[in-house]
Structure 1
Amino acid sequence: MIRFVLSRLAVLVPTFLGVAFVAFIFIRLLPGDPVELMAGERGTTPERHAELMERFGFDRPWWEQYVTFLGNILQGDLGRSIVTKAPILDEFLTLFPATLELSICAMIFAVALGLPAGVLAATRRGTSLDHGVMAVTLTGYSMPIFWWGLLLIILFSGILQWTPVSGRIDLLYFFEPVTGFMLIDSLLSDQAGAFRSAVSHLILPTIVLGTIPLAVIARQTRSAMLEVLGEDYVRTARAKGLPMRRVIGLHAFRNALIPVVTTIGLQTGVLLAGAILTETIFSWPGVGKWLIDSIFRRDYPAVQGGLLLIASVVMIVNLLVDLTYGLIDPRIRHGR
């Protein structure tokens, strides 16, 4: 098991270096001068411009800036924001709980509906139920996030007025954050109605962000279940007269979990990428909206550090997924 874990950890090193390089190059490919954007409408003199370029190191060759960037990362320093002057890590840790809360709720929504839908479609293969589930999942997968989000806002917030349009909680409630998770903090605040307000603000962003992972998980679960249901040991279990529920739950479903778990792990990256659009649409104060604002402001340290930290989260999740393989199927961790 130790060798299995070490082999997975070894893969993360070149991946991390590659992500660091992409994060560094990405922002520099965008047109625009960060110093001019900082100056705004007031502008700046050539002398002041040259001084700021030298202060932030933008006048040096790109490879020299990259080496400095890597050196700072190895020391645990992601730099400071050009705009707010705050440490990048502090800003990320302040905003990440909002993104994490939204992503967790979206994944719970996707898994809670996607797994049963996939199993149901596989066990009713070829029926109208199977076709209906697959049609719904295909529709969900095909919906652009920005269009789906605006459509739900118009319907549930505008016409029906069931849910709020934006934010994490009504302005009526104010309390010091303890965990950064609004659902937990609202419960701890003991303010009547705070938790209900937090839940109502979370409903639409959760549905919008979780729709695509739900569709992918449902389709992958169906495919994996169909493959397993055709195996000899499943037919043998049926021939022994075991109840169908036991055959599916005990024999088929567990062996179909590995590709499904892989899909769930990969969808973590999709969630964090989708969170950028979702948070922008719903004015959700998380890392995604922060990154978008930083890109527009050409805040190099914020974009570089933010992308690197998000990529690190995705790599850690995928590592946990790999370790989960070993728990589901012991043959994997023994290299069989």
Structure 2
Amino acid sequence: MIRYFFNRLLLIIPTLIGITICAFAFVRLLPGDPILAMAGEHGVTPERYEILKEQFGYNQPIWMQYFDYIGGVLHGDFGASISTKRPVIKEFMTLFPATVELSLVAMILATVVGIPAGIFAAVKRGTWIDQLMMGTALVGYSMPIFWWGLLLIIFFSGYLGWTPVSGRLDLRYFFPATTGFMLIDSLLAGKPDAFVSALRHLILPSIALGTIPLAVIARQTRSAMLEVLGEDYVRTARAKGLSPREVIGVHALRNALIPVVTTIGLQVGLLVAGAILTETIFAWPGIGKWMVESISKRDYPVVQGGLLLIALIVMAVNLIVDLLYAVINPRIRVK
């Protein structure tokens, strides 16, 4: 297990190098000039333009800019935002809890609903219940997030008035941001009304973000359960007179969870990608909205640093998922 862990860590290094190259090249392929974008409608004189280029290092050759960037990253310096002048890592850590909170609620929703739906569809294989669940999952997987999010806003916020349209909390509430997680901070501040408000603001974004992972998890769970239910040890468990709950919950589900856990781990990257659209639609102040605004401003350090930090998080989660295999199924032994 230890050897496998370190081998996985070594594989992360070339992946990170490739990501830094892609991020560095991507922002420079965007049309527009970061200096002119920073100057805005007031513009900048040619002399001031050259001074700013030299200040930010954009007058150097591309390869030199890249190695300067890598040198800073190796020392923990992801640069400073061109527009706000704040360090990228500080802005990221300030906004990251909002994205984590939204992603966690979305993933909990997807897991709590998706796994039972997949199990039930597998047990009722070939019936109208199975077809209804898998058909619904296919529809959920096929819906674009931006379209689905707008439909949720129109119906639940506009027509019914049940949920807020955007943001994380009503403006009338204020309390210290101890952890950055609005649900936790509201409870720590002793404001249950603020907790309810934060929860109501989370409903629509989490549904919009969690729909596609829910559909994927449900379909994968059904497929894994159908494969496991045909194994000899499951037939033996049934022949011994065990109840259907014991057969499915103890013998079948634990072995079927291996590919499901893999799927859940892979959904982390999908959640980050979906968070960009979801946070933009619902004006959610997280790293997704931050990245979109930085791209429009041609804020090179923010885009580069944000992509690299997100990639690190996704790879760390996938590594943790790989290491969980042996915990879920004792038959797996990695040497």
TM-score, length basis structure 2? 0.98
Aligned-pair distance for 1:331?
A: 4.5
Aligned-pair distance for 1:128?
A: 0.5
In structure 2, C-alpha distance between the alignment counterparts of 1:292 and 1:311, rounded to whole Å: 16
Please tell me whether residue 110 in structure 1 is matched to residue 110 in structure 2: yes
Aligned to 1:161: 161
Aligned-pair distance for 1:274?
A: 0.3
Alpha-carbon contact 1:96-1:286 (below 8 Å) kept: yes
Aligned to 1:204: 204
Please tell me whether residue 222 in structure 1 is matched to residue 222 in structure 2: yes
Q: Secondary structure at the match of 2:176?
A: coil
In structure 2, C-alpha distance between the alignment counterparts of 1:254 and 1:11, rounded to whole Å: 29
Aligned-pair distance for 1:334?
A: 2.7
- Mapping 1:31-46, distance limit 5 Å: 31-46=31-46
In structure 2, C-alpha distance between the alignment counterparts of 1:162 and 1:269, rounded to whole Å: 30
Aligned to 1:58: 58
Aligned-pair distance for 1:294?
A: 0.2
Q: Give the letter for the 2:105 counterpart.
A: C
Residue deviations 1:71-120 (CA, integer Å, cap 9, x gap): 11100000100000000000000000000000000000000000000000
- Mapping 1:44-193, distance limit 5 Å: 44-193=44-193
Unaligned runs of 5+ in 2: none
Q: Give the letter for the 1:191 counterpart.
A: K
Aligned-pair distance for 1:139?
A: 0.6
Alpha-carbon contact 1:168-1:284 (below 8 Å) kept: yes
Aligned to 2:312: 312
RMSD after superposition = 1.0
In structure 2, C-alpha distance between the alignment counterparts of 1:154 and 1:283, rounded to whole Å: 15
In structure 1, C-alpha distance between the alignment counterparts of 2:177 and 2:144, rounded to whole Å: 33
In structure 2, C-alpha distance between the alignment counterparts of 1:259 and 1:137, rounded to whole Å: 18
Q: Secondary structure at the match of 2:324?
A: helix
In structure 2, C-alpha distance between the alignment counterparts of 1:62 and 1:252, rounded to whole Å: 56
Aligned-pair distance for 1:11?
A: 1.4
Aligned-pair distance for 1:191?
A: 2.8
Alpha-carbon contact 2:254-2:329 (below 8 Å) kept: no
In structure 1, C-alpha distance between the alignment counterparts of 2:108 and 2:328, rounded to whole Å: 20
Q: Give the letter for the 2:142 counterpart.
A: S
Aligned to 2:280: 280
Residue deviations 1:281-335 (CA, integer Å, cap 9, x gap): 0000000000000000000000000111111110110010011012123454434
Aligned-pair distance for 1:192?
A: 4.8
Aligned to 1:30: 30
Aligned-pair distance for 1:161?
A: 0.2
Aligned-pair distance for 1:231?
A: 1.1
Q: Give the letter for the 2:76 counterpart.
A: G
In structure 2, C-alpha distance between the alignment counterparts of 1:7 and 1:238, rounded to whole Å: 41
In structure 1, C-alpha distance between the alignment counterparts of 2:266 and 2:318, rounded to whole Å: 7
In structure 2, C-alpha distance between the alignment counterparts of 1:331 and 1:160, rounded to whole Å: 51
In structure 2, C-alpha distance between the alignment counterparts of 1:211 and 1:46, rounded to whole Å: 50
Aligned-pair distance for 1:15?
A: 1.2
In structure 2, C-alpha distance between the alignment counterparts of 1:301 and 1:334, rounded to whole Å: 40
Aligned-pair distance for 1:31?
A: 0.5
Q: Structure 1 pair 76/333, CA: closer, same or farther in 2 (3 Å)? A: farther
Aligned to 1:238: 238
Give the 4+ runs in structure 1 shifted more than 6 A. none
Percent sequence identity over aligned pairs = 67
In structure 1, C-alpha distance between the alignment counterparts of 2:68 and 2:190, rounded to whole Å: 48
Residue deviations 1:102-160 (CA, integer Å, cap 9, x gap): 00000000000000000000011000000000011001001100000000000010010
Q: Secondary structure at the match of 1:193?
A: helix
Q: Give the letter for the 2:310 counterpart.
A: I
Alpha-carbon contact 2:186-2:192 (below 8 Å) kept: no
Q: Give the letter for the 1:74 counterpart.
A: L
Unaligned runs of 5+ in 1: none
In structure 1, C-alpha distance between the alignment counterparts of 2:333 and 2:27, rounded to whole Å: 39
Larger CA deviation: 206-215 vs 51-60: 51-60
Q: Secondary structure at the match of 1:152?
A: helix
Q: Secondary structure at the match of 1:186?
A: helix
